[in-house]
A and B are shown apart, each in its own frame.
Chain A
Amino acid sequence: MIVRLYRSLLMGLVPIAFSACASPEPAPAEQELAVPLGVDLGGSGPVAAPVARPQGEPGYSERVGQTQMAHAGANDAHGTGTVNSVDLARHKVEVTHAPIPEIGWPSMTMEFPVAPSVDLKEIKPGTRVNFTIEQQPGGMYEIKVITPAGGGR
């Protein structure tokens, strides 16, 4: 019985031997010709019980208190972060900021246009800042106020 198993394993090693000999680690030139593989997103897991609710989902407006977007009136939000770079010519700053719960933003690094009335002379790369942003027509957020956070002078 063990002998039989042993023979099976031995025969099974034949393909390994073949492939080991026949295809060594691909040379750099061959690497480019290597086959692109799909990403397996995984199995389904346990199958769900049939769902009772009807097809589709209700429109947003039907849900109470769902509005995540344009709050009526207050378009302002406040944040803190660190300035990475200042573009005086285009009047923009790139900021790495902490999450902004008022509008549900996570921590991000991004470039903001700055309102023309704001003086950017005090804002240097590396400065920690507090800022106020306001949503403009078209959806983009613009910095209305930006000041060095305490201890920045």
Chain B
Amino acid sequence: MTDPVFTRRRFMLGAAVTGTLMLARWPSRSAPAPAPVLSGTEFQLEIGPIPINITGRPVTGTGINGQIPAPILRWREGDTVTLAVTNRLSERSSIHWHGIRAPSPMDGVPGLSFAGIQPGETFVYRFPVRQNGSYWYHSHSGFQEQTGVYGPIVIVPKDGYAQAFDRDYVVMLSDWSNESPGTIVSNLKFQSDYYNFHQRTVGTFFDDAQRNGLADAVADRLQWGKMRMSPTDILDIGGAAYTYLLNGQPPGRNWTALFRSGERVRLRFINGSSMSIFDVRIDGLPMTVVQADGNDVIPVTVDEFRISVAETYDVIVRPTADRAYTIFAQVEDRTGYARGTLAPQAGMTATIPPMDPRPLRTMTDMGMGGMQPGSMSGMDHGAMSGMNHGSMPGVSGMGVSLEAKKLVGSVGVDNVAEVPTERLNRAGEGFPAGRRVLTYADLRATRPGRDARPTSRDITLHLTGNMERFIWGFDGKKFSEAEPIVLQRGERVRFVLINHSMMEHPIHLHGLWSELENGHGAYRPYKHTINVKPGEKLSYLVTADEPGRWAYHCHLLYHMDLGMFREVRVP
């Protein structure tokens, strides 16, 4: 049998050989400067105005060292880092190291930690780094985080990594709007559905009637109408205002991470956006989640995960084919996406998948239980999502607590969940069947927690809001109307959060770890930001081992700024 000259095997062999040569000889064939990495123990950071052009219209944003996102800070566990931050803006600024356990004066929250950095001033942060993993840093002043003051932190472990990998990339997701944040808030104050162009219409009514029957469709409309709520409220601000960025690049720019087939690639996903929750997947590549919020978890392989604002997930992927893969991060309301490419060579692209169908809020999200008339139409595919449709969501408590009842009808509260559900084993709405989606119940720490003491008390907080007036708070109150939450030094407490609103809230406690009670006992995961689903009730344990005035707030920037903020004080 003749040996044809042009066999596929030979071609691949040759291509592999020369491909390697190419990569070696032309390492940066098509690269304008990528975001630089700053390493070491001493850093000079300058916050200032930056010209930026995302949509074709040049505008002025704010950023660090002339770039958005800010440079990757690469620290080593065990080092003491010194960061001199100079403010070249014309308003007060600050930098908060998100998820980093630093002494309170170094935490960077103007009003709680320090006075902020005045224009022209330099503030020197200095603290020992005693943890490792992926984190991020951002301004805690005004809306500067929205206009570009955010960047990644990578802390190399002193004891080495728990899983091997060959390449390591930061994937920072964010949202950008040319509209000024002040205008965005003002618009929402007048018309809270200003940015929602996917509301239910006469057309969708007829579709629903056709699918579920006229009586059902009418009952459903009446049920939501009576509450003056809309099940299409997924995100306050979506693609109508935002362009979604991956490492500062809009989807069309095709940010690319290079790999060689067979290599293990670590991707550090950081959600550095202000208001956007992303559903991340790489078609053709399952992802093995190895760290959540900077802490090791028993590796769990999924097809997709939802990453809420300020969370981080480190995943390892192993592309075996010599082709490009699309890193696809669609926002929860399906009005846009961020996108990057994993490829053997720069310039390659893979298909960008269509966005999944838009989810709708359900009666479970409203905390009204699942068995309501008309809810059959509202029983969206979210209820059949993921691999966890075995157990019914745990119904907790005997209905509305007394303190929650008092909130009904007040100016800051538009809904009180009568039947909040414990459903950490559910991923949320909007995931088509057949994909493995990460849930909080999947996160199991690799080592048991440090503090095994029983808790001294439960601190229950109700996450509340009034969508119509666009007011957000805890227990129906804004920050300015509330007292600090005081913990004893060294106290072990349980925080119980009940989300009475119909939107997710990523709740972040500065300075102290939040140990999420997700059924794994002593192996509960250590997190800094916990996403509470609408109508959900969850709890986590905190050891108040660090004195200070710690900020505690929803990390949706406009919610935080409009009152969803508290001080947790440890004397």
- Chain B, range 63-86, C-beta contacts under 8 Å to A: 72, 74, 80, 82, 84, 86
Please tell me if the beta carbons of A12 and B18 are within 8 angstroms of each other in the complex.
Answer: yes
Bound-state Cα–Cα, A31 to B346, Å: 13
Bound-state Cα–Cα, A138 to B101, Å: 20
Bound-state Cα–Cα, A54 to B523, Å: 10
Please tell me if the beta carbons of B545 and A38 are within 8 angstroms of each other in the complex.
Answer: no
Please tell me if the beta carbons of B13 and A12 are within 8 angstroms of each other in the complex.
Answer: yes
Please tell me if the beta carbons of B80 and A69 are within 8 angstroms of each other in the complex.
Answer: no
Output the least CB separation between A98 and chain B (Å): 13
Bound-state Cα–Cα, A66 to B72, Å: 27
Binds A, one of B176-184, B247-255, B423-431: B247-255
Please tell me if the beta carbons of A37 and B154 are within 8 angstroms of each other in the complex.
Answer: no
With A61-B547, A68-B127, A111-B121 known as contacts, the answer to whether A40 contacts B258 (CB < 8 A) is yes
- Chain A, range 31-67, C-beta contacts under 8 Å to B: 31-32, 34-51, 53-62, 66
Bound-state Cα–Cα, A31 to B28, Å: 12
- Asked whether any CB of chain B lies closer than 8 Å to the CB of A149, the reply is no
Residue among A7, A41, A45, A50 having the largest count of chain B Cβ atoms under 10 Å: A41
Question: What chain B residues lie within 8 Å of A111 (beta carbons)?
Answer: 86, 120-122
Please tell me if the beta carbons of B37 and A39 are within 8 angstroms of each other in the complex.
Answer: yes
Q: Which of B116, B131, B253 contacts A57 (CB 8 A)?
A: B131
Contact digits for B30-58, partner A, Cβ 8 Å, 1 yes 0 no: 11101111000110100000000000000
- Asked whether any CB of chain B lies closer than 8 Å to the CB of A88, the reply is no
A interface majority secondary structure: loop
Q: Which of A4, A16, A38, A49 contacts B257 (CB 8 A)?
A: A38
Please tell me if the beta carbons of A39 and B36 are within 8 angstroms of each other in the complex.
Answer: yes
Please tell me if the beta carbons of A139 and B114 are within 8 angstroms of each other in the complex.
Answer: yes
Closest A residue by C-beta to B259: A40
Please tell me if the beta carbons of A38 and B128 are within 8 angstroms of each other in the complex.
Answer: no
Question: What chain B residues lie within 8 Å of A7 (beta carbons)?
Answer: 5, 10
Question: What chain B residues lie within 8 Å of A12 (beta carbons)?
Answer: 11, 13-18
Bound-state Cα–Cα, A23 to B166, Å: 29
Please tell me if the beta carbons of B162 and A48 are within 8 angstroms of each other in the complex.
Answer: yes
Please tell me if the beta carbons of A36 and B256 are within 8 angstroms of each other in the complex.
Answer: yes
Contact digits for B245-287, partner A, Cβ 8 Å, 1 yes 0 no: 0010100011111100000001000000000000000000000
Please tell me if the beta carbons of B120 and A35 are within 8 angstroms of each other in the complex.
Answer: no
With A12-B14, A45-B161, A60-B103 known as contacts, the answer to whether A54 contacts B115 (CB < 8 A) is no
Please tell me if the beta carbons of B167 and A139 are within 8 angstroms of each other in the complex.
Answer: no
- Chain A, range 87-113, C-beta contacts under 8 Å to B: 90, 92, 103-106, 108, 110-111, 113
Please tell me if the beta carbons of A105 and B82 are within 8 angstroms of each other in the complex.
Answer: yes
- Asked whether any CB of chain B lies closer than 8 Å to the CB of A150, the reply is no
Question: What chain B residues lie within 8 Å of A58 (beta carbons)?
Answer: 450, 545
Bound-state Cα–Cα, A54 to B447, Å: 6
Closest A residue by C-beta to B449: A55
- Asked whether any CB of chain B lies closer than 8 Å to the CB of A74, the reply is no
Question: What chain B residues lie within 8 Å of A73 (beta carbons)?
Answer: none
Question: What chain A residues lie within 8 Å of B126 (beta carbons)?
Answer: 68-69, 103-105
Output the least CB separation between A3 and chain B (Å): 10
Contact digits for B111-126, partner A, Cβ 8 Å, 1 yes 0 no: 0001111101111101
Q: Which of B14, B103, B162, B256 contacts A47 (CB 8 A)?
A: B162
- Asked whether any CB of chain B lies closer than 8 Å to the CB of A118, the reply is no
Output the least CB separation between A146 and chain B (Å): 17
Residues of A within 8 A of B (CB): 4, 7-16, 19, 23, 26, 31-32, 34-51, 53-62, 66, 68-70, 90, 92, 103-106, 108, 110-111, 113, 137-141
Q: List 24 A-B contacts (CB under 8 A).
A: A11-B10, A35-B347, A36-B247, A37-B256, A37-B258, A38-B256, A39-B36, A39-B72, A40-B169, A41-B168, A44-B168, A47-B161, A51-B447, A54-B449, A55-B445, A56-B526, A57-B130, A60-B101, A60-B546, A68-B80, A69-B103, A92-B120, A111-B121, A113-B121
Residues of B within 8 A of A (CB): 5-6, 10-11, 13-19, 21-22, 28-32, 34-37, 41-42, 44, 72, 74, 80, 82, 84, 86, 101, 103, 105-106, 114-118, 120-124, 126-128, 130-131, 154, 157, 159-171, 247, 249, 253-258, 266, 295, 340, 346-347, 445-451, 489, 513, 526, 543, 545-547
